Every structure is written in C-alpha cells, then in structure tokens.
Amino acid sequence: MAWATSNISAAMVSNFFAPAAALTYTGDTVNVALYNNSVTPNKNDTFANNAYAAGTWAGNEISQAGQWAAGGVALASKTNTFGSGTAQIGAANTASGNNATLTAVFGCLVYDNTLAAKNAFCWNYFGGSQSVTAGTFTVVWSGSGILQFTIT
Amino acid sequence: MIPLLRAQTRWECPNCPATHVTAGTGAQLPFHECPGLRGILAPYVEAGTRCKVEARDREDYAAGELGLRTDQDGRPVMSVVTTRDDGQDCAVFPAAASAQQEG
C-alpha cells in the first residue's frame, strides 16, 4: 500500500473522551517527520500504532542530519482556533536547513514529541514524490490548517 | 554615536515583476501568489539567483482532500520546485487532514 490521502485516526478522536495520553498541541513540542511511499497510513489503526516509530511509521522515514533530522522538525507559531463550525490547528510553514538533499518524500506525520509514546495528531499527504538537492524543503500548510474538524 | 546597519535580504520572482524585502538574513522563505505561474503560491528567490521556478500538478487523485492549493483553472498543485545552478528547492502543499461531523 502507499499514501492516498491526508487523515487522522479514529483512535485519536476517541482519545479525547478517555485520554490515554494528553495530546497537547499548543503546549507540547509537535514534530513533523517525513516518509517515503512504503508506509500504509491507516485511520483504523490503534492510537499506539499511529505514533512516531510505531506501526507503519516504524521505518521508512526520510531524514538528513542537520537539515531535516530523524524525528522531524518542530512546528513553530502553532495555532488552535475554532468558529463557523470548524476547529483547526495550524502553524507557520515548516522548513529544512538550506542544504538538504531528500529524495522521494511522499508525506509527513505530525506528532506530539513531548509524549513518551509520540502519538500522532494526523498525517498529511504531499500528492506525489517530492525531492530537494542541496536546497530547502518547505512544507506550506494549507489555508485549512494542518488538521481541521468540520461540523455541518 | 555609531549607526547600526540592519541587514536586508532582497527577493525577486523569475516569473513576474514582484519583489520583496525581509529584514535580516536567514528569514523564512517568503511567498506570493504569482500571476506568472498560474496564480499559484510561489516562493521568491534571492535577488540575482539564476533559476527557474515551476509548479508541479498533483500526481494523485484529489480524493476529497480539504484545502488543496489549486491554480487559476482549479487544477490541484502539489509543489513548486526552484531549480538553481547548484541545487533544487521544493515547497510542498499538503491538504489538511480532516474529519467531518454531520449533524
């Protein structure tokens, strides 16, 4: 299998109602780790398996020390907003160092790096294979945020 | 009194006349909606850089993804690639992960 869409896990939503871990978006360090196309993101997998270095996210990470290091780059200027039937989290664009060489990057995992279990908030698909050579890799987050809940 | 000179970084776009100035060095890469690149959000490049900046259409189905960036014709764009003499930059545009509750 491979990447097909950006998504969250149902278990992450369930965690709101019976917290097994205190996912704290604005208070904790939240990292963005990059992956190749050999992962199989699964919205029905467990909360424990949708975490950094667990489940399908164990292995297949794309990284380069000093540029986009293993474990990912921390989000900056995080926001948590709601209104007009939506709730969303966002952040400033996330960038590597300016001498990165990263090949065949297909998507990223956004996870709570403060928690020991490193549970994920969501994963975001880049729509195809992305690469940089001796340059800067920048994730420009959507105007709809990194993750959005819509109540209609 | 010694005047303090504040460094500036000057930016330009190879696809349109837009320019930009940021204070200091190492500032986060600035972007603009580029009329010369199908209206897509595109990065500036440092003034004087020999390069080309190109949009890459999404290679997979949109699949109902929320918040995809599109060009002026509504085509989903997955990234903008800047190719320099000595390397290549890439800005990617992921959708938002989303969930919907219907009342």
- What is the SS3 assignment for A11? helix
* Beta-carbon separation of A132 and B60 below 8 A: no
* Beta-carbon separation of B103 and A151 below 8 A: yes
* CB-based contact, A7 to chain B, within 8 Å: yes
Mean pLDDT, rounded, for A126-130: 98
Interface test with B, best of A37, A133, A152 (most B CBs within 10 A): A133
- ipTM summary value: 0.95
DSSP E strands: which ranges in chain A? Answer: 30-35, 61-62, 73-74, 79-83, 86-90, 94-95, 100-112, 120-135, 137-139, 147-151
Mean pLDDT, rounded, for A110-133: 97
| pLDDT exceeds 90 at position B5 | no
pTM here is 0.94
* CB-based contact, A5 to chain B, within 8 Å: yes
Query: A55 CA to chain B: closest CA distance, Å?
Result: 19
pLDDT at B26: 67
| pLDDT exceeds 70 at position A145 | yes
pLDDT in tens, B23-54: 877 668 899 999 999 999 999 999 999 999 99
